[in-house]
Amino acid sequence: MDGDVIVVGGGLAGLVAAHELVQAGKRVALVDQENPANLGGQAFWSFGGLFLVNSPEQRKLGVRDSVDLAWRDWRGSAGWDRLDGPLAEDDWAVRWGRAYVEFAAGEKRAWLKQHGISLTPMVGWAERGGGQAFGHGNSVPRFHVAWGTGTGVSEPFADRARTAAKDGRLTFHHRRRVDRLLVEGGRVTGVAGAILASDDAPRGAPSNRNRIGDFTLRAGAVVLASGGIGGDHEKVRRFWPERLGSPPKSMITGVPAYVDGRMLDIAGEAGARLVNRDRMWHYVEGVQNWDPIWPKHAIRILPGPSPLWLDALGRRLPSPGLPGHDTMATLRHLRTTPDLAEHDHSWFIVSQKILEKEFALSGSEQNLDITERKLLKVLMARLGKGAPPAVDAFKHKGADFVFADDLETLVARMNGLTERPLLDPALVRRQVEDRDAQMDNPYAKDFQAMSIHNSRRHLGDRLARTATPHRLLDPKAGPLIGVRLHVLTRKSLGGLQTDLSSQVLKADGTPFEGLYAAGEAAGFGGGGLHGYNALEGTFLGGCIFSGRAAGRALAGRV
């Protein structure tokens, strides 16, 4: 035996599972196809958002929340509809969703603190929904940001793994690519695959796939924490659902190249049950990175509520296709509207004043003030004058950004970013003026204008995330900025179906002895605890919750 448990994947879910096992006195073999620099996986690169319910941070900002309200929002967003029959794909997902909301409203915050994860005072209002009382969206702000961004969430567990390795309780097997599960007598007993040549590529960058040998590892159980499919665009297209129209011909990538979904197919071939593979979470506010780390490395703009959003033909997006409101509804509109199908982009038009206050960028490396935990820098960047340095760099160096002092020049420069001019300056001007006419007082019939006023009722948004309502054409707020937006691949919402102990189920719905799954490989729990929509801040938390469940269950079973 090479360990009590083999954990496949050195991302957040795998590290949490390994931590729970080591704490229980078990020996862990951690297998990863990448080099040691990649420990922490995708979580390292994230903004560090964490979904919490009725937290002290919320209450200090005057936000009233409850487990009942959060559960209403979660159910309305998830829209689980595969509940019939003995092998219902959403059967375990619903149970995982309820358990996760209770965790977020209960011990999650104390557990994070116990493990060295602290929170900034910031509570963002992500995914505000489609304007219905019961439906997708957060009724209140719940997006808590960790000090250190994603590194502040992943590194405490990476450090514990390194310490456990020094103590002989955990063994790293880097540059080992798992190609098959070992199944004996219906039970998973280990993994086998290729030893890959050494590669000192920096974190996130592609590494070689040169096979120099073979390996086999055996243990009492295997935990798959190998991630989703967002780095493989062909796989994304293969599972792209009809309800979202046609997949874009060109997409950019929000995850490292190694997020390829290989282990999902390998587990399926071994007899594991895969569900909800057509559910996915991709962003429509992606921009090309002027300083990329991996191929087509992209950054998502986390917008406030004020940008004017136009489709590729220059028409304002209808509600709920508003910044920060309903990601999947916006993606569906852009991909199912007949005359937009051939176009893979849309546009933001903002003023300098909106850019400075409302543009945040995903990624730990794009938010060094929070990543480096420098409070003074945070206050200067988020509350002071001018755009945050990373945002300003994209404005001046990003391939998708143009700016001008007048609208006609701006539209001409926007047209210069596409193969042929698609934007009619007169149409764009009419819509900008219509929008501006709603900004003169706190009363409005425009849904976006109402959303802006609603946002500013939240102290956190008023201070750091929502500009004072103003006309885009106000010279004092300029210059005007146009941003070309792309579809950015990110998360798989389905995957291996698991019970509440993170044990994988077989194709017939019975437990697959010796096989467990956590994180994105398990749809963050149950094969899809998010259903069709995420409420944001729930991906890191889903990795933690499902990894913890796997580790705790196996601590008593091996």
What pLDDT, on a 0 to 100 scale, did the predictor assign at position 320? 93
Measured CA to CA, the distance from residue 367 to residue 380 in angstroms comes to 13
Segment 100-128, tens digit of pLDDT: 999 999 999 999 999 999 999 999 999 99
Cα–Cα nearest to 541, from 7, 22, 60, 55? 55
C-beta separation of 293 from 254 below 8 A:
no
Residues 6+ apart with CB under 8 A from 522: 224, 495, 496, 497, 498, 502, 504, 546
Mean pLDDT (the chain, rounded) = 96
Proportion of the chain above pLDDT 90, given as a percent: 95
DSSP secondary structure string, 451-516? HHHHHTTSHHHHHHT-PPP--TT-GGG--EEEEEEEEEEEEE--EE-B-TT-EEEBTTSSEEEEEE
- Beta strand spans in 247-328 (E): 252-253, 274-275, 280-288, 298-302, 308-310
What pLDDT, on a 0 to 100 scale, did the predictor assign at position 374? 85
Measured CA to CA, the distance from residue 297 to residue 316 in angstroms comes to 28
Whether 380 has a pLDDT exceeding 80, the answer reads: no
Q: What φ, ψ does residue 213 adopt, rounded to 5°?
A: 175, -175
Element (H, E) at 211: strand 211-218
Say what the pTM is: 0.97
Going by pLDDT thresholds of 50, 70 and 90, the confidence category of residue 377 is confident
Whether 384 has a pLDDT exceeding 90, the answer reads: no
Going by pLDDT thresholds of 50, 70 and 90, the confidence category of residue 376 is confident
Element (H, E) at 383: helix 375-383
Q: Quick one: how far is CA 223 from the chain centroid?
A: 22
3-state helix, strand, coil in the chain (%, to 5): 35, 20, 40
What pLDDT, on a 0 to 100 scale, did the predictor assign at position 495? 98
Going by pLDDT thresholds of 50, 70 and 90, the confidence category of residue 185 is very high
Q: What φ, ψ does residue 193 adopt, rounded to 5°?
A: 175, -150
* Structural domains for the chain: 3-167+245-279+493-555 (3.50.50.60), 283-488 (3.90.700.10)
Segment 473-490, tens digit of pLDDT: 999 999 999 999 999 999
What pLDDT, on a 0 to 100 scale, did the predictor assign at position 528? 98
Q: Other CB atoms closer than 10 Å to residue 440's CB: what's the count?
A: 12
Whether 381 has a pLDDT exceeding 80, the answer reads: no
What pLDDT, on a 0 to 100 scale, did the predictor assign at position 383? 74
Measured CA to CA, the distance from residue 527 to residue 118 in angstroms comes to 29
What pLDDT, on a 0 to 100 scale, did the predictor assign at position 525? 98
How large is the average pLDDT for residues 60-76? 97
Whether 396 has a pLDDT exceeding 80, the answer reads: yes
Task: Report, in angstroms and rounded to the nearest whole number, the Rg of the chain calculated over CA atoms.
Answer: 23
Segment 7-28, tens digit of pLDDT: 999 999 999 999 999 999 999 9
| 318: preceding bond cis by omega (within 30 degrees) | no
By residue count, the chain amounts to: 558
Whether 354 has a pLDDT exceeding 80, the answer reads: yes
How large is the average pLDDT for residues 510-538? 98
C-beta separation of 303 from 354 below 8 A:
no
What pLDDT, on a 0 to 100 scale, did the predictor assign at position 382? 75
Look up residue 128 and give its two tokens.
């505000």
What pLDDT, on a 0 to 100 scale, did the predictor assign at position 529? 98
How large is the average pLDDT for residues 367-392? 86
Segment 241-257, tens digit of pLDDT: 999 999 999 999 999 98
Collapsing DSSP to helix, strand or coil, 309 comes out as strand
What pLDDT, on a 0 to 100 scale, did the predictor assign at position 356? 96
What pLDDT, on a 0 to 100 scale, did the predictor assign at position 274? 98
Segment 297-317, tens digit of pLDDT: 999 999 999 999 999 999 999
Segment 188-223, tens digit of pLDDT: 999 999 999 999 999 999 999 999 999 999 999 999
Least confident of 343-347, 397-401, 460-464, 527-531: 460-464
